[in-house]
Structure 1
Amino acid sequence: MPLRPVHLIIKALDHEAVGRFWAEALGWSAYSPGMTTYVGPAGGLVWPHPVFVGVDVVPVPEPKSATKNRVHLDLATNSPAHQAELVARLKALGATPAHVGQGDVPWTVLADPEGNEFCVLEPREVYRDTGPIAAVVIDCADPRVMARFWGEATDWALHEVTDDQAVLRSAKGVGPYLEFLRVPGAKTVPDRVHLDLLPYPGDDKAAEVARLRALGATDLDLGQGDVPWTCLTDPDGHEFCVLALS
């Protein structure tokens, strides 16, 4: 059966500091299960979480480039006062204003302590039940192509697709949305942020990877060597990984 998005990878020079930032930003907890810092709901590490997409901050030796990330998080708020309070709190935690050509918009664009852009949205009814992460947003050339690929790759349901935007969400109607936005220009640098997918118990990872290749995924060599996960790119060139069931 299709795969499930289980967490969002953020690459960082200081994974512990960036992990602490995102734990505070989301009101979650930072866990250290190994060489990474995992951020998920408080109350103990649950992975994969049945509702939320976690954040796994992994150490890398290279800093973020000046190029805007093509994958980012949108954070939900429930009132104008909440939006203002969250923006102020994030700035106190080390976030900085980011300018990505957004102009005069009702949301606020910030960057985390290592420059990864994200948005604090004004209150929107559609995101009232998502939890702190409203959406994982991916820039792309053709949302319809991405909707076809990711709709087949995952078990998430398609909510909307136009020439400019495609929207998916868990078929259970819980957690964040996955949104693809049409933008000009092509991807030019490796993704600093990407999704990891996981098979369901009883499914065959190799068969799932083969299915993704048939859908248009391409193998990716990042120098990862002999690892239990498989690195791929989607039809727009975005990296993602298929994890192995433990």
Structure 2
Amino acid sequence: MLTVGTVVLGVEDVPRAAAFWCAALNLVPRDVVDGDFAVLVPGTGHGTSIALGRSATPVQKHPRVHLDLYSEDPAADIEHLLGLGATRVADWDLYPADPDFTVLADTEGNRFCVIDKS
């Protein structure tokens, strides 16, 4: 049986991205964060890990794969993420008429969604 072990994101600045995702999702570095690669694991020991690899590939406007972060209080969580350096993707042209999600970008421009689970 296969399971998802780690989600890998391409980034330009590994330490900056590591700081963002550690603060956003209560992750901790598995090893020393260097300029090329880092693995971030759940601080609680349970959950999905995120790996960050240095990449020169440009950010996609409509990425084929992205993270969905579930939230019971999306307004508060979005403000928290913005305070950590995320940005709103203002020109997202794929919103449905009544979206239950907000598209943000991390410090590297990678798109992700905050899903309203309330």
Instruction: Give the letter aligned to residue 165 of structure 1.
Output: F
**Which of 173, 178, 183 is the matching residue for 2:50?**
178
Q: Does 1:191 align with 2:63?
A: yes
TM-score of the superposed pair, with normalisation by structure 1: 0.42
Q: What are the ranges of 5 or more consecutive residues in structure 1 without an aligned counterpart?
A: 1-26, 28-130
Q: Greater Rg, structure 1 or structure 2? A: 1
Deviation track 1:159-194 (CA, whole Å, cap 9, x = no partner) reads 231111121112232344210000224224521001
Instruction: Give the letter aligned to residue 157 of structure 1.
Output: V
Instruction: Give the letter aligned to residue 38 of structure 2.
Output: A
Q: Counterparts in 2 of 1:79-118, with a 5 A limit?
A: none
**Secondary structure of 2:75's aligned partner:** helix
Identity %: 33
Deviation at 1:136, TM superposition (A): 0.8
Residue in structure 2 matched with residue 107 of structure 1 by the alignment: none
Q: What are the ranges of 5 or more consecutive residues in structure 2 without an aligned counterpart?
A: none
Residue in structure 1 matched with residue 115 of structure 2 by the alignment: 243
Q: 1: distance between equivalents of 2:11 and 2:4?
A: 20
Q: 1: distance between equivalents of 2:49 and 2:79?
A: 26
Deviation track 1:190-224 (CA, whole Å, cap 9, x = no partner) reads 2100111123x5xx320110111121211122330
What's the Cα RMSD here? 2.0
TM-score of the superposed pair, with normalisation by structure 2: 0.82
Q: 2: distance between equivalents of 1:241 and 1:234?
A: 10
**Which of 87, 95, 107 is the matching residue for 1:218?**
87
Deviation track 1:224-246 (CA, whole Å, cap 9, x = no partner) reads 04312111111111111111123
The aligned length equals 114
Q: Does 1:144 align with 2:15?
A: yes
Q: 2: distance between equivalents of 1:176 and 1:205?
A: 20
Instruction: Give the letter aligned to residue 243 of structure 1.
Output: I
Instruction: Give the letter aligned to residue 217 of structure 1.
Output: A
**Secondary structure of 1:236's aligned partner:** coil
**Secondary structure of 2:63's aligned partner:** coil
Q: Counterparts in 2 of 1:9-158, with a 5 A limit?
A: 27=1, 132-158=3-29
Structure 1 residues 230, 134: CA separation in 2 closer, same or farther (over 3 Å shift)? same
Native 8 Å contact 1:138 1:180 kept in 2 = yes
- Bigger RCO (CA 8 Å, 6+ sep): 2
Instruction: Give the letter aligned to residue 88 of structure 2.
Output: D
